[in-house]
Structure 1
C-alpha cells in the first residue's frame, strides 16, 4: 500500500486472511475496534463484513489470501 493511502470501504464474498510484512497503518472492520497494522500483525476479515484501511507514512507490504466462491467478484464497494 502506498504511503498515506486509503483503502475504501469494501466487502469480500469470502474470508480475507493477511499478515503484515512491513510498514504501518490501521484496519477498520465494521463492528470491531480498529486494528493497528505493524510488522508481524495477523488479520482476518469475515465474509461479507465491510472494512477499510488507512496506510501510514511509509509503504506497507502484506500478504493476503482471499477465499471466495468461483465466479464471484473478489471485492465489491460498500
Structure 2
C-alpha cells in the first residue's frame, strides 16, 4: 500500500471501492514487520471484496453496521464499538449494511514490502 502524502489516501487493491486513509505507519519491534493504521469508510451496500493481508488485522467499528465474513468462521454482525481480529492471509469480506456509511479503524501488523491488501477468491463456503 502506498499513500499520497497530499491527500492521506491509501492506494492498494481495495482503493477502488472504499475510502481508505492511512493514519500512520512505523517499524514494529519484530524484525521484518511494520504497523500500519488505516481508517476505512464503506458506503451503504458496498462490499470490500474478498481479500487478504500479509499480517494480522486488529479492527474496531467506529460507525455503522458491518457484516464481516471471515473464511472458516461464522459471519459477524459488527456495530459501532465492536472489535474484530483477522489472522494473516485469511480471506475476508466486509459489507456495510447501512443505512449510513460504515467506518472502521484497522491496525495491521504486516510484512514490510508487501501490499497491504490483495484480492483473493472467496472460499467455497462463502457462496451466498
- Any unmatched runs of 5+ in structure 1? none
Query: What's 1:45 paired with?
Result: 86
Cα offset, 1:21, TM superposition: 1.1
Q: Higher Cα Rg: structure 1 or 2?
A: 2
User: For structure 1, which segment, 56-65 or 42-51, has the greater mean C-alpha deviation from structure 2 after superposition?
Assistant: 56-65
1:26 shift after superposition: 0.3
Please tell me the root mean square deviation across aligned C-alpha atoms, in Å: 0.8
* Aligned position for 1:59: 101
Q: Which residue is equivalent to 1:11?
A: 52
User: What corresponds to 1:29 in structure 2?
Assistant: 70
Which residues of structure 2 form unaligned runs of 5+? 1-41, 121-128
Partner Cα separation in structure 2 for residue 76 and residue 4 of structure 1: 21
C-alpha separation in 1, matches of 2:118 and 2:103: 22
- Separation of aligned partners in 2, 1:77 and 1:60: 20
Aligned with residue 68 of structure 1, among 110, 116, 127: 110
Q: Under a length normalisation based on structure 2, what TM-score does the superposition of the two structures give?
A: 0.59
